[in-house]
A and B are shown apart, each in its own frame.
Chain A
């Protein structure tokens, strides 16, 4: 709730050029991200890190007086809980997903898809539903994206599904879960910042989610038939390797979902899933110990008899736990830099200036206020890569604007979270897209393993994230027509029991 303090206190950083100059770091970074990933088609996360660093340095030259306050604000932003939440979720989900992968889950899914006759045309629709289910269970759309791009995506592409549509369908599923899951970080932020109880928020947003999800599912069925798949050499041979035992990891996923839905913390839920997955791998011979964790030494010695110590050409540490976690290091660094740039904008008054403008010039009727809330949330989330960080930044404005028209806390929370979730998975620089792309291009990525057909240019998925787009459209229509609108006098919220 770092933004809350920013909305009530005077800006602590003074800039040459006024409050708007506080948007220089984030603005520069967005231009960099658009140029790099959108124009040049380079999805390298490390490149975005450099863009964020240069943007942060550029902002320094606009600071009046001592630069120390600006530097301190960088640390203030990086130490926000929201960044830590995302980082923890990625590390755990990365280890879990990679462990399922070495346990032959992809081969099992290919087997299941063949057995259930889920063909290339219906695979994206199935991926949307299943990824939505997983994301609703584990509460992290990023984690679900990692798991599904790692596991489902290659299976679908090998069967002949269109890679762009399939990636977009997975992102749509992530949007659905991020929006609806009671354990989702965005759901929790949306509820607590609008003084609403989480259970009531989830129940009240179900109507919007389902109104968007049904047409999205139909759209994936239709487009699955229209768009052709990639031509992969050797696909037939790989399909011959499809085996049933890897399907046991449906239970590993089920453990994570059931534990999370039961209200356990996401770390606990994924840890249990990880324990079960490792157990299955070892008990059923799906992978060796060294596939999960291995210390590689260059010369044989006392410890090389251990199953997790091996002799190789280069000393190092490896295995699914290592590869799964380390794959997210670039994104973690980027996340820390982005939340610090957002904090500079808050402390510099840029966010407050936007709020004043909105209340005085744009949000002059309840319809216009709600449209402003929808578009404002969408715009901020379009700019800030990590959607939970964007949500926290915009939350005070949604509360203030909504309260000025006595719009109920449930409605405010739903407007806030739906557009946060949706925009976090659409544009090429969005965190959800980047984590999925990272799985494709990382050192042990799908591209390296299967070939370039397994790598999707992030900008190509933009039009096909149907559930994301439909959710934004549903809320625009709801703002104009009054669908689902509730006022403060209509009902009071329960206790905000989970912060």
Chain B
């Protein structure tokens, strides 16, 4: 990202329910788990993550998005790898 791009990033009104496309690979913070499966809350959208490690909560992981419902802002994806942790 160029210096100019850094200054111009974020000059927009962003939805509280971001949507993603099947096929996207995204980095997310795992924010909780439900029924033994990791979940990532992105704004008010929810991504269920299959195959994540048991201790994945509060780690940053790469996820391949497989399904996404734009009306409910819910989707599923597959865990790829852990790339970081919480800032605290």
Contact = CB atoms under 8 A, between A and B. Distances in A.
B6 A482 contact: no
B18 A404 contact: no
Interface stretch (A15-23, A195-203, A220-228): A195-203
Interface residues of A, number: 39
Contact of A7 (B13, B41, B88): B88
Interface in B39-62: 40-44, 58, 60
Given A203-B3, A366-B16, A491-B1, A399 B87 contact: yes
Given A367-B16, A400-B88, A406 B9 contact: no
Given A194-B87, A206-B7, A403 B14 contact: no
Interface string A461-499: 000000000000000000001111111110110000000
Given A193-B87, A488-B29, A406 B42 contact: yes
B31 A204 contact: no
B33 to A, nearest CB: 13
B62 to A, nearest CB: 10
A489 B16 contact: no
A366 B88 contact: no
A411 B87 CA distance: 14
Contacts of A154: none
Contacts of A204: 6-7, 9-10
Contacts of A410: 9-10
Interface in B1-33: 1, 3, 6-7, 9-16, 18, 20, 26-29, 31
B71 interface: no
Nearest to B3: A203
B31 A483 contact: no
B86 interface: yes
Given A403-B86, A484-B14, 10 more contacts: A194-B87, A206-B7, A365-B16, A365-B44, A405-B43, A409-B87, A482-B15, A483-B13, A487-B43, A488-B60
Interface of A: 4, 7-8, 193-195, 199-200, 203-204, 206-207, 365-367, 395-396, 399-400, 403-407, 409-412, 481-489, 491-492
